[in-house]
Chain A
Amino acid sequence: MNYISRLFQRIAWTLLFLAIPLMAQKGPKDKFEFTKLNKIKLPKVHKVVLPNGLELLLVEDKDYPTIDLRALIRTGSIHEDADKTGLAGITGEVMRSGGSKKFPGDALDATLETLAATVETSIGISSGRATISVLKEDIDKGLEVLADLLMFPQFPQDKIDLIKVQARSGISRRNDNVAAIANREFDKLIYGTHSPHARHIEYATIDAITRQDLVDFHATFFHPNNITMAVWGDFNWKEMKKKISMTFSGWAKGPAAPKTAATVKYTFDSSVNYIEKTDVNQSNILLGHIGGTQDNPDYPALTIMNQILSKDRLFKRVRTDEGLAYSVYGNYGAGFKVPGIFTCGCQTKSESTVKAIKIILEEIRLMQNSQVTEHELQNAKNSYLNSYVFNFQTKGQIINRLLRLAYFGYPADFMDTIKAGVEEVSRADVQSVAKKYLKPDDMRILVVGNSANFDEPLSTLGKVNNIDISIPKPKGEELQQANGASLARGMSILKAARKELGGDNIAAVKTMLTNANISMMGMNLKATSWITFPDLMRTDMQTPMGTVKIVVTPESGWQIVPGRGEMIMPATELKKHQETLLRDLLYVLADPSKKTVQFLEETEIDGKKVADLLITENDHSFHLLIDLSSSRPWGMKFQGETQQGPAELIEQFLEYKQFDNIWLPMKVITTVQGNPMAETTRESIEINLIIPDDTYSK
């Protein structure tokens, strides 16, 4: 800027300011005349349904050089079995972390991050979600990746294992944070411990999930006709439509996603629930009962009631007047399809716990017993109506709302309906909905805190139910603290055993045929087994009923039992058989690097020094016991099945003999709690024979 223009500008300013003193400054409480608000610019939304049923909402937004996509998929954890809780979430996660054949997850991480792009997938309680966020020049890449992930996820086992490690760690950490405990347990108090809206993962539910479950879950829900995509950003909508239609053209229509009824059963009652946390000086308090849904005609009045209860009543009383809490609120929650929760809450020092609860209950009753003031009503309505414009801040916000409303079957103009409703709400309406929907005598109260310092015992509020939040231990193995040293030592002992039994010759074993006699419960059985490493196995057993044939492959397993025909193994059964393969001595020693090997302790068995190694692979753990004097495996210890149910089994390896430069035990004695269960004697072993393909087919 040159001198003249600067001077000119200064003069202009001076003139402007000279004019100002004529207008008096207004006080903050004076009346303001507001000019008409500039118009809300509603974006043009282009709706398209592709031939394969994929729905698109496209909005051009050229202000910034980016493109965003958000897809909602008709799925959710409401569809998973309770004993596999976590399946939906893990499926959503591994779709992305595992990637597809063309775009393996790890490579994708690097590629996308280098572009500052994100492509993500996830599955929540009642929907699945997929997103793209890219600089506009990368949209082709983003779409190509997303399409491949949605259509052809690989679900590699190592990424399933990884997320299981994370899930288990999450379980072990879930009681570290007071607020997390309170929210989790309160949901369970309202919806029920086993409700899909409140239940959470446990070690057992994570252990029960197999790769096949992920494959099946994906196959059930991920079809183009179950998906709606919103796309907004710097593009021409027709070109974008063409791009998406081409990228997803190879994806055929599938069956519609199964519908689940949103059943929440609730009976109103009151209860006082307590969770002890001895290392805190503040109580985390939640109280409430079931709420409703937004399609309730009373929702506008409830919206205003929420505002007054939270802001005018609870905040002013509990926080401002009493100084009892930093955060305090009361909200009649309403979901789209599933009832929300009426939740009141605050965090207050231990010494004012009961006082705070009593005040909150008092304030709820007050909402029912008298009308709110005209000032409160007007303020709440003005707040809602004057801030309505903030529902239209960006095109992304608008199109995302449309996407959500459509997904849950709400009309596109739903917001306008609520706004019109709010305009009509009266003081009487607020009192009437408070009376109708709030039940201060039927509140479920939860306190997480340290009762030693409470102002009054919680029992003054009612009979106290103590909630036990101790974490159910994982079934089978309880991992001890592993560290660098124990892992290194474990690996070196395992490698020594490998060397002792045949070294690299073991890795060269591709197939094995074994004939054995099994003596069990007074019976003698002959068994022949074929193994093609790493994952095919067939066992034929001569039983008094005839030959029982068992075949295990990575995808499926079946048994042929005389007189009963062919039976497909259920997934859990298959997993157990696959784990048998993971424990095969040759397999264990072939490639130790694939496993986590943790040295646990040195013990003495029959006067021999034995190392106890905990070996983990594909989520399965077992103990390999190695005789330290000879470096030969003494035996194994693992969770197995007995007639009495699951138990810890010990196998002892005896009579090692050499085949093709590999030493193998000819006898295996199985015991359970010191009692012999079975004895297996190997008659012959044949290594690297040619096993015909049809050996493992039906």
Chain B
Amino acid sequence: MRHQTLGKKILIAVLAVLYSMSMAQSFEQIQSNIATHTLSNGMKWIVFERHDAPIVSFNLYADVGSANESYGITGISHLLEHMAFKGTEIVGTNNYDEEKLALSSLDSVYALLQTEKAKINPEKQRLEILQSAFDMFQAKAKTYVITNELVDLFDNEGEAGLNAGTGTDNTEYTNALPSNRLEFWMALTSDRFMNPVFREFYKERNVVIEERRLRTETQPIGRLMEDLFASAFKSHPYHHSVVGHMSDIQAITRQDVIDYFNKFYIPSNIVVGIAGDVKPKEVFAMAEKYFGRIPGSAKPLPPRTIEPEQWGQRRVKVEAQSQPILLFGYHRPAAKHSHDAALGALANILGQGRSSWLYTELVKKQKIAIDCGAFNGFPGNKYPNLIAFYAVPAQGHTAQECLDAIDIIIEKAKTEAVIPNELNKYKRNTKKGMINTMKSNAGIASALCNAEIKLGGWKKFFEEYEDVQKLTADDVMEMAHTYLNKKNRTIAEIVQAQ
């Protein structure tokens, strides 16, 4: 129903305000269980106290991702994340002094080998000698390694959430342990990020190369996303994928990783989120004790390059042995921008859920797609990014048909206000999404770090909810007008390889 009497409208508005107030109150209660502390070296700690079960989740959040990379070292943030599992001067080695010598010899030989390879006419015999020296030192270094000891130490204590993830904007290291293992986590993790040793580097680089093959090169959708970003971002480092270019991964050196670590893994660039059965005071005291040892330095500056205004619609086709898929995006500002909430509502109403405009039209009515949708924050959201749309054409239908159909919907969004129910859908789903995040220790630990780094304070996680509750239909229409323009768009599609 698009027409409502004035009285009814007022009633709805009053109820909405009352409703959002009661919710805000209960969020306030949750916030009272959150405490923060910043060490003198600049490392910030956020603790969410909850004693439901004797467990605790950790999120060590480094404010560095592939957007901090430049040509020649693309993929290094992710490679570093892999190397952060290799141990320390204490963990993962049976004799660090000897190992250190072997590793430095290995690096020197590797450098000579690369220099020779780079010559226009490499000397074959020299290459062979260097290669065998490389193999020898690699084998020598390996004799000092206690394989995967860092992981084994965690597992031994009942680790249930050991993982790490690298994105365009950040790198997160997660753990979940029985809550009486707090000090163990402090001891191992502080050592892990204070005295890391990037051993077994050249083998791990191959693992990452296999990961690139697995996720990008053998996956039609992986290729599609890589080419969409490469076209949509001609200048900003969102241009390259998180895993990096194959040739860069193959060429990054151990010293590159050490330098990168020293630049970005400093206390002022790290936030730790902890949620679960712990007492904040104990956590902060231990943080001082274990992480306070790390010397502080100034936070590195963000990447310089800003994506310039687009000069016209761009279009890219990826050939693959695959049925067609359509994916396209429009430039939009970063998550901290005041339009973020309204853009969220726009994507939600147009393209999230079975009652969304896209799904109703393309899947249910026209039956030209089997799935379609819209989302924000592509490929990241710390910097200006894309609001993206996708469609998976139904058998016998084309990407172009889907694009035409979505275009009609997008034009409609510029002229037709969304109805209150649709806006309520977004508001309520935001609330439920927040509750679901809060139900999980790992979820809330990550969300608080994310808000702290990307939005300028962990409280923004809760404030975003209030921004959303204030949205009006006009706000949403304005977003469609402002951003969903063809000149501002890049289209990518998979076409069947011949």
Binding site for B on A (CB under 8 A): 16-17, 20, 23, 25-30, 32, 34-41, 63-66, 97, 106, 109-110, 113-116, 135, 161-162, 165-166, 168-173, 175-178, 277-282, 284, 311, 315-316, 319-327, 347-349, 378-379, 382-383, 385-390, 392-394, 479-484, 596
Contacts and interface: CB of A to CB of B under 8 A. Distances in A.
B50 to A, nearest CB: 8
Contacts of A16: 281, 285
Contacts of B151: 311
Given A349-B210, A387-B158, A481-B398, A281 B370 contact: no
B433 to A, nearest CB: 8
Contact of A386 (B157, B208, B214): B157
B187 interface: yes
Contact of A387 (B147, B159, B281, B395): B159
- Classify chain B's interface size: 35 or more
The 8 lowest CB-CB distance pairs between A and B, nearest first, are: A386-B158, A323-B206, A323-B203, A116-B428, A387-B158, A28-B188, A38-B54, A326-B211
A110 B181 CA distance: 47
A161 to B, nearest CB: 8
Nearest to B205: A323
Nearest to B432: A116
A393 B179 CA distance: 12
A483 B435 contact: no
18 contacts: A25-B190, A26-B183, A29-B153, A32-B181, A37-B180, A169-B395, A176-B220, A177-B220, A280-B218, A316-B148, A320-B147, A326-B211, A383-B155, A480-B396, A481-B396, A483-B398, A484-B401, A596-B367
A28 B424 contact: no
A280 B210 CA distance: 12
B428 A114 contact: yes
A128 B176 CA distance: 32
B154 to A, nearest CB: 9
Contact of A25 (B206, B293, B364): B293
Given A65-B26, A113-B354, A28 B191 contact: yes
A173 B281 CA distance: 55
B432 A66 contact: yes
Interface string B114-155: 000000000000000000000000000010000110011101
A393 B370 contact: no
Contacts of A177: 219-220
Given A178-B218, A348-B210, A481-B396, A20 B91 contact: no
A211 B453 CA distance: 54
Contact of A326 (B155, B214, B432): B214
Interface in B419-473: 421-422, 424-425, 428-429, 431-432, 435, 438-439, 441
B288 A170 contact: no
Given A110-B421, A165-B370, A387-B158, A28 B355 contact: no
A27 B90 contact: yes
Nearest to A137: B19
Given A135-B428, A323-B203, A348-B210, A383 B180 contact: no
A349 B438 CA distance: 41
Nearest to A23: B289
Nearest to A110: B355
A316 B181 CA distance: 26
A20 B285 contact: yes
A599 B273 CA distance: 60
Interface of B: 26, 51-55, 88, 90-91, 142, 147-148, 151-153, 155-160, 176, 178-181, 183-184, 187-188, 190-192, 200, 202-211, 213-214, 217-220, 277, 281, 285, 288-290, 293, 320-323, 353-355, 360, 363-364, 367, 370, 392-398, 400-401, 404, 421-422, 424-425, 428-429, 431-432, 435, 438-439, 441, 497
A18 to B, nearest CB: 11
A591 B371 CA distance: 28
Contacts of B429: 113, 116
Given A20-B289, A38-B54, A66-B432, A170 B398 contact: no
B396 A277 contact: no
A482 B202 CA distance: 51
Contacts of B158: 382-383, 385-390
Nearest to B153: A28
A347 B213 contact: yes
Contacts of B159: 383, 387
Nearest to B208: A326
B45 to A, nearest CB: 13
Given A280-B218, A382-B158, A394 B425 contact: no
Contact of A349 (B148, B213, B364): B213
A386 B178 contact: yes
A27 B187 contact: yes
Given A40-B54, A65-B435, A483 B400 contact: yes
Contacts of A319: 207
A44 B174 CA distance: 31
A176 B152 contact: no
Contacts of A387: 158-160, 178
Contact of B176 (A38, A116, A281, A390): A390
B198 to A, nearest CB: 14
Contact of B207 (A17, A113, A323): A323
A484 B219 CA distance: 29
B265 to A, nearest CB: 17
Contacts of B422: 114
A25 B432 contact: no
B398 to A, nearest CB: 6
Contacts of A40: 53-54
A169 B152 contact: no
A344 to B, nearest CB: 16
Contacts of A484: 401, 404
Nearest to A347: B214
A113 B285 contact: no
Contacts of B400: 483
Nearest to B421: A114
Nearest to A317: B147
Contact of B425 (A113, A178, A596): A113
B396 A482 contact: yes
A491 to B, nearest CB: 13
Given A16-B285, A394-B439, 11 more contacts: A28-B153, A40-B53, A66-B435, A170-B370, A176-B321, A284-B218, A311-B155, A319-B207, A348-B210, A387-B160, A393-B53
